[in-house]
Amino acid sequence: MFRRLLLAVSLLVSAVFGGFSFTPSANAQAIPEVSLTTSSSELPSFDIPESSKLDLTAALPAPSDISSSAQSLQQRSLDSVTQAVYNTDPGNAYTINTGQVYFDYIDQAGGQKWFNFQTTTPTKLTAFLQTVQSASVDYDLHLFRLDLDTLQLVEEYYSVYGPQMDEQVSRIAPAGIYYLAVNTVAGFDASNPFYFTVVQSSVYDSAEPDDNYVYAKAKTSAFTVSQTIDNAFDEDWIKFTVSTAKQYTISFNNPAASTTYQVNIYNQNLNQLATINQNTSGTYNMSAGTYYFRVLSTSSFNASQPYTFSVSNAAAAVTVSSITSDPNVSGYMTYGYGNKYRIQNYITVTGSARDSSGAAAANVPITVSIRTVLNNLVYSATTTTNSSGGFTASISSIQPGVGLYGYDNWVSYHYFDIIPIQFSSNNAVLTSNENTLYHFAYQIYQPH
């Protein structure tokens, strides 16, 4: 018992301090090239031993007792790992508890290790396997539900990454009895254990289960998702297919206090291309192909506070539809230097943004800037476009104009400046249908 506690504590400590290999920094190096020949519709080659027709009547509660409690499952401690060496088929599965960390070994080529556990309420299950760190050893992870009518293992979920990559799978799980299998697809290590745990999440987002690239949610065009990290191991995968090369703005916002999340971008071979830290936005040139995004936590989590992740076409141009300002000043007019919007103490700018192909640039940051004449004082406001590329931005308390120009309207002289208005997104200047404004300064009543 002491040894199990010690292991659990050491895993917890290493997770906190970043030594555990599910932390992104370690994973960044740990993710090897993976041949993605396995499609999600195709089960990996994995033969369940004949004894999968289980005789579980002695080991597990009768179906009518399933809801009683996990107490009825056998409770064994891992203080002696040899207790687990015979669990090489489902009929001899080693019973575990959720929320605890275990370890075991595989000591022969093609070997398997089996574990089972019971849940008493509907939940999201996340099974995590910290694999052996050897390029010649590759273990995979399989999760099954036990059909109590047939005593067959059904509803397989699997994680089939390559060597030196931890395995993880999640599923939405009714109360029941579940089986976990670790099998070796290459090599084995009889002296270094694999570690694993199964955790339950009572609250989770609607995109679950998506903890593995095999179960990534597919996207083929600009998108925004609002999801949560519901446990320390939760990973949210998205598969993004780019049909033609394009520039995208990728934004990741995590408002959950005292948590740190990030997004990893992978190519189709699961080679990591980039990492996006929370509350940042950037522009990326993405060639045609398949990409994967993985959202995960590097520190703590909040299952009730969603993050927002968006991939949108980068803005290239804006069209201004209106700029309103003070009453009696506001309007689109000319003082003899072309039609421009006239402004004074404040402005509200409404418009829309497009990408280089002319499509709406959704969910991108837009910064509106004007430069007044006195001391070249610059005012700016930043907003984010909506799903149609539309935006509204306001600037207030603009200092008075100087009045470099004059205009005689036969009743009074109007004095004004011509000042620039500029639009940018992620520090790139956008083209615009409006580039200058009349900044009204004052008028002198002077009828002719």
Using CB under 5 A, list all residues that contact Ca ion: 205, 210-211, 227, 234, 236
Q: How far is the CB of 213 from Ca ion (least distance, A)?
A: 12
Hey, is 280 helix, strand or coil? strand
Residue 59 in tokens: 């080991």
Hey, is 380 helix, strand or coil? strand
Q: How far is the CB of 212 from Ca ion (least distance, A)?
A: 9
CB atoms within 10 A of CB 306: 17
Closest CA relative to residue 303, chosen from 169, 127, 118, 124: 124
Hey, is 65 helix, strand or coil? helix
Q: What is the CA radius of gyration of the chain?
A: 30
Distance CA 47, CA 150 (A): 19
**Closer residue to Ca ion, CB minimum distance, 189 or 205:** 205
**Closer residue to Ca ion, CB minimum distance, 296 or 366:** 296
Please tell me what DSSP assigns to residue 15.
Answer: H
Q: How far is the CB of 224 from Ca ion (least distance, A)?
A: 15
Q: How far is the CB of 201 from Ca ion (least distance, A)?
A: 8
Q: How far is the CB of 13 from Ca ion (least distance, A)?
A: 24
Strand duo 317-324 + 428-429: pairing: unpaired
Q: Where are the beta strands (DSSP E) in 305-411?
A: 307-313, 317-324, 331-334, 339-343, 347-354, 365-371, 378-384, 390-395, 405-408
Q: Which residues contact 447 (CB under 8 A, 6 or more apart)?
A: 410, 411, 412
Element (H or E) spanning 352, and its range? strand 347-354
**Closer residue to Ca ion, CB minimum distance, 158 or 423:** 158
Q: How far is the CB of 214 from Ca ion (least distance, A)?
A: 12
Residue 164's identity, in one-letter code, is Q
**Closer residue to Ca ion, CB minimum distance, 184 or 200:** 200
Q: How far is the CB of 433 from Ca ion (least distance, A)?
A: 42
Distance CA 35, CA 186 (A): 14
Hey, is 324 helix, strand or coil? strand
**Closer residue to Ca ion, CB minimum distance, 138 or 236:** 236
Please tell me what DSSP assigns to residue 83.
Answer: G
**Closer residue to Ca ion, CB minimum distance, 216 or 437:** 216
Q: How far is the CB of 229 from Ca ion (least distance, A)?
A: 6
Hey, is 91 helix, strand or coil? helix
**Closer residue to Ca ion, CB minimum distance, 210 or 417:** 210
* Phi and psi, residue 437, nearest 5°: -135, 155
Q: How far is the CB of 244 from Ca ion (least distance, A)?
A: 29
Cross-strand pairs, 227: 307
**Closer residue to Ca ion, CB minimum distance, 238 or 329:** 238
Residue 135's identity, in one-letter code, is A
Residue 165 in tokens: 């990559």
Q: Is 352 left (phi over 0), alpha (psi -120 to 50) or beta?
A: beta
**Closer residue to Ca ion, CB minimum distance, 112 or 123:** 123
* 386 CB-side CA count, 13 A: 8
Q: How far is the CB of 420 from Ca ion (least distance, A)?
A: 45
**Closer residue to Ca ion, CB minimum distance, 116 or 201:** 201
Residue 78 in tokens: 């891992």
**Closer residue to Ca ion, CB minimum distance, 31 or 106:** 31
Contact yes or no for 160/214 (Cβ under 8 A): yes
Q: How far is the CB of 81 from Ca ion (least distance, A)?
A: 30
Contact yes or no for 433/409 (Cβ under 8 A): no
Q: How far is the CB of 124 from Ca ion (least distance, A)?
A: 8
Distance CA 202, CA 187 (A): 37
**Closer residue to Ca ion, CB minimum distance, 116 or 297:** 297
